[in-house]
Structure 1
Amino acid sequence: MISKTSKVGIIGAGNVGADVANALVLLGRCVRVVLFDRTLSKAEGQVWDIEDSIPLLKEMEIIPSNQYEDLADSDIIIVTAGVQPKLGQTRLDTLSDNAEIIRSTIKELDRVAPNSIVLIISNPVDVLTRIAIATSTRAENLIFGSGTVLDTARLRYQLGKRLNVAKQDVHAYV
Structure 2
Amino acid sequence: MNAPPFSPLELTDRVLTMAKTGVYRQSVFEALGPVATRQQIRDAIAQAKQFGLYTVSALRDEELGTYYQVEPARYESFQAAAKTLATGSPPDNLAEQVVATHGALRAMLSAVAASTLGLGLLGGWCLLDGHTQLGRGLWLGAVVAGGLWSVQRWIARRALG
Q: In which range does the TM-score fall when normalised by the shorter chain? A: under 0.3
Larger radius of gyration: 2
**Whose strand fraction is larger, Structure 1's or Structure 2's?**
1
Name the one with the larger helix percent. 2
- TM-score, normalization: structure 2? 0.27
